[in-house]
Amino acid sequence: MDGARALVLHPQRLTRTVNDGGKARVGVLISGRGSNMAALIEAARDPACPYEIALILSNVTDAPGLETARRAGIETFAHSHRGMKRADYDAILDAELRRAGIEWVALAGYMRLLSPWFIDRWRGRIVNIHPSLLPAHKGLDTHAAALAVGDVEAGCTVHIVTEGLDDGPILAQARVPILPGDDAEALAARVLIEEHRLYPRALATLVRGSGASDGE
Ligand code: GRF
């Protein structure tokens, strides 16, 4: 790891990497299909994108997203969490991220809670995408929850990860209508299209250090 890529511990110093002409190094954590991960990879191909996707990590060793990442030529790290204490597992993730010189961590369908230790160690540098208009419908089954309470719109949120579940500062949101006859699957598909648009842009805005974005 050279000096310019050394892990930067303070968010206010992260712009140094971009200002030096390099791209900020992003590690993406996945557990499944990785379609948001793929959207980030695609966006990062743009020379103007301020970040590169440098490492994909998964707690599910056969997650389909891993193959997508490999096909894109991106380094992967897969290690099951089974039988491990959360903090011990997260220490392994942390070591891999640091070894790879990662500066930002993007959760993309990572289906595990992170330990307080990990969140504190990467404070302000972990982002997540959640398929609801937070603070509405935290946790799982968000689309069914939105339909159950009769919401007229749904959407997705990119936020900083803190200790509270789906609770950190909101960076960007995108909205979609809920249409007559929608079931959870139809709504999820409509939201997912917006997720793939929103996440790369919100991450770019964050990495550039230009503050919050409305996603437009
Ligand atoms: C997405 O809906 C994301 O918002 C949520 O989990 C899903 C992951 O899908 N956190 P994918 O693996 O990115 O396709």
| Residue 144 and residue 178 in one domain | yes
Beta-bridge partners for 176: 154
End residue of a domain, out of 74, 101, 123? 123
Pick from 24, 49, 160, 38: nearest CA to 102: 24
* Residue 32 and residue 91 in one domain: yes
The residue from 97, 123, 149 where one domain ends is 123
Do 194 and 174 contact (CB within 8 A), yes or no? yes
Q: 36: CA distance to ligand 1 center in Å?
A: 6
Whose Cα sits closest to atom 12 in ligand 1?
34
Contacts (Cβ under 8 Å, ≥6 apart) of 146: 132, 136, 137, 154, 178, 187
Does residue 130 have an active-site annotation? yes
Q: Judge if the beta carbon of residue 24 lies within 6 A of ligand 1.
A: no
Q: Is the pLDDT of residue 19 over 90?
A: no
pLDDT digits (tens, 9 = 90+) for 159-183: 999 999 999 999 999 999 999 999 9
Asked if the structure places residue 133 within a domain, the reply is: yes
Q: How far apart are CA 14 and CA 203, in angstroms?
A: 13
Same domain, 117 and 133: no
Print the SS3 string covering the chain.
CCHHHCCCCCHHHCHHHHHCCCCEEEEEEECCCCHHHHHHHHHHCCCCCCEEEEEEEECCCCCHHHHHHHHCCCCEEECCCCCCCHHHHHHHHHHHHHHCCCCEEEECCCCCCCCHHHHHHCCCCEEEEECCCCCCCCCCCHHHHHHHCCCCEEEEEEEECCCCCCCCCEEEEEEEECCCCCCHHHHHHHHHHHHHHHHHHHHHHHHHCCCCCCCC
Q: Is residue 4 part of a domain?
A: no
**181 and 113 in one domain?**
no
Residues 123-163: pLDDT tens digits? 999 999 999 999 999 999 999 999 999 999 999 999 999 99
Q: Give me the domain span that covers residue 22.
A: 16-123
- 181 and 158 belong to one structural domain: yes
Structural domain includes residue 2: no
**Residues 38 and 86 reside in one and the same domain:** yes
Do both 44 and 133 map to the same domain? no
Q: How confident is residue 6, by pLDDT bands cut at 50, 70 and 90?
A: very low
Find out whether the beta carbon of 194 lies less than 6 Å from any atom of ligand 1: no
Mean pLDDT (whole number) for 77-91: 98
Pocket test for ligand 1, best of 66, 112, 192 (most atoms within 8 A of CB): 192
End position of a domain, from candidates 123, 153, 176: 123
Are 156 and 202 part of one and the same domain? yes
Does position 30 have pLDDT exceeding 50, yes or no? yes
Residue 97 has pLDDT above 70, yes or no: yes
d(CA 129, CA 188): 13
Tokens 């749904």 — which residue? 154
Nearest protein Cα to ligand 1, atom 14 = 35
Q: The tokens of 58 are what? A: 């998964």
Cα of 74 to ligand 1 centre, how many Å?
Answer: 19
- In a shared domain, residues 42 and 111: yes
Domain contains 6? no
- CATH number of 202's domain: 3.40.50.170
Q: How far apart are CA 151 and CA 177, in angstroms?
A: 9
Cα of 16 to ligand 1 centre, how many Å? Answer: 30
Question: In angstroms, what is the span from residue 81 Cα to ligand 1's centroid?
Answer: 19
Residue to mutate (ligand 1; options 36, 37, 57, 67; most atoms within 8 A of CB): 36
Q: Quick check: bond before 11 cis, omega within 30?
A: no
**Which residues lie closer than 8 Å to 114 by C-beta, 6 or more apart?**
86, 90, 126, 161
Q: Is the pLDDT of residue 103 over 50?
A: yes
Does 3 fall in a domain? Answer: no
Which atom of ligand 1 is nearest the CA belonging to 33? 12
Clarify whether residues 84 and 161 are in a common domain: no
Residue among 146, 112, 151, 144 nearest 128 (CA): 112
Q: Which of 10, 130, 159, 196 is catalytic?
A: 130
CA 171 vs. chain centroid, Å, equals: 12
Same domain, 20 and 118: yes
The tally of domains found in the chain comes to 2
Confidence class of residue 22 from pLDDT cuts 50, 70 and 90? confident
**Residue of 170, 195, 197 to mutate, ligand 1, most atoms within 8 A of C-beta:** 195
Whether residue 144 sits in one domain with residue 205: yes
Query: pLDDT band at residue 48, thresholds of 50, 70 and 90?
Result: very high
Count, residues in the chain: 216
